[in-house]
């Protein structure tokens, strides 16, 4: 069995949280924020026992019969991409790999709950730059730099080939991660020589998407 696929949509404050937490592979905590909101604190990890979302389970109904439902279990996000540009909603794409799939009779329509919150848009978001992580995190919104688009990619490089199977089994038994790679791209217009000088001099820095 090869159970894998790509889930694409708009980055959502509620429905995208599990994908992002799983892609980070570590523990997460949730606390109440302002009225009707929550704050998720996510830590990078290696899918160890402390991870609050070490695997995902999807139910997918194929056809009109409630009995034609497949449950994909033991899933992990291999690669997560978040991108946005001015005037469009923020997009999310998750390449997910599962260990197995089974047919179940769950009635998804009866338990489905769709959030009434709107997805994130490229509005009131800031690109904050600093010489260090602390400097970028504490940069005031008035001193941020203008960008027209960005793309953030988290690649866990999961082992999904024959090494993820075991002798005598047709399903994957484990999806171990290897070295995680994080890449970040922005599109920026050089209005001053400050940002251009950093580019030509390959200056190391920290950035914060706020």
Q: Report the distance separating Cα 51 and Cα 49, nearest Å.
A: 5
Using the predicted structure, report yes or no on whether residue 142 has a pLDDT greater than 80: no
Using the predicted structure, report yes or no on whether residue 3 has a pLDDT greater than 70: yes
Q: pLDDT, tens digit, for every residue of 42-56?
A: 999 988 877 888 899
CA 9, 15, 3 angle in degrees (round to 5)? 65
pTM score above 0.75:
yes
DSSP string across 162-200 = GGGS-TT-SS---------EEEEEEE---SSHHHHHHHH
More confident residue, 171 or 156: 156
More confident residue, 167 or 72: 72
Q: pLDDT, tens digit, for every residue of 16-36?
A: 999 999 999 999 998 888 877
Confidence of residue 153 (pLDDT cuts 50, 70, 90): very high
Q: Report the distance separating Cα 128 and Cα 177, nearest Å.
A: 30
Confidence of residue 189 (pLDDT cuts 50, 70, 90): confident
Structure-derived torsion over alpha carbons of residues 103, 111, 20, 42, reported in degrees to the nearest 10: -120
Q: Give the per-residue pLDDT at 36.
A: 75
Using the predicted structure, report yes or no on whether residue 69 has a pLDDT greater than 80: yes
Instruction: Say how many Å lie between the first and final Cα of the chain, rounded.
Output: 41
Confidence of residue 201 (pLDDT cuts 50, 70, 90): very high
Q: pLDDT, tens digit, for every residue of 80-120?
A: 999 999 888 899 999 999 999 888 887 777 777 888 888 88
Confidence of residue 156 (pLDDT cuts 50, 70, 90): very high
The residues facing 208 across adjacent strands are 128
- Which of 141-145, 153-157, 172-176, 200-204 is least confident? 141-145
Arithmetic mean of pLDDT over the chain: 88
Using the predicted structure, report yes or no on whether residue 66 has a pLDDT greater than 70: no
Q: Give the per-residue pLDDT at 126.
A: 85
Q: Give the per-residue pLDDT at 88.
A: 87
Mean pLDDT of 198-204: 89
């Amino acid at each position: 069995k090869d159970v894998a696929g790509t889930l694409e949509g708009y980055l959502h404050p509620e429905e995208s949280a599990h994908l992002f937490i799983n892609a980070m592979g570590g523990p997460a905590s949730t606390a109440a924020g302002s009225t009707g909101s929550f704050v998720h604190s996510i830590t990078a990890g290696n899918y160890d026992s402390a991870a609050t979302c070490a695997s995902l389970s999807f139910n997918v109904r194929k056809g009109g019969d409630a009995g034609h439902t497949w449950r994909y279990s033991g899933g992990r996000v291999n690669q997560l991409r978040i991108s946005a540009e001015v005037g469009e909603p923020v997009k999310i794409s998750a390449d997910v790999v599962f260990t197995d799939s089974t047919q179940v009779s769950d009635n998804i329509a009866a338990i489905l709950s769709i959030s009434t919150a709107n997805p994130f848009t490229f509005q009131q978001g800031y690109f904050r730059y600093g010489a260090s992580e602390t400097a970028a995190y504490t940069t005031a919104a008035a001193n941020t730099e203008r960008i027209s688009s960005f793309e953030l990619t988290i690649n866990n490089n999961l082992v999904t080939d024959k090494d993820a199977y075991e002798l005598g089994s047709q399903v994957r038994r484990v999806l171990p991660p290897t070295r995680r790679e994080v890449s970040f791209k922005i599109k920026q217009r050089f209005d001053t020589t400050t940002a251009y000088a950093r580019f030509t001099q390959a200056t190391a820095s920290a950035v914060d998407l706020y």
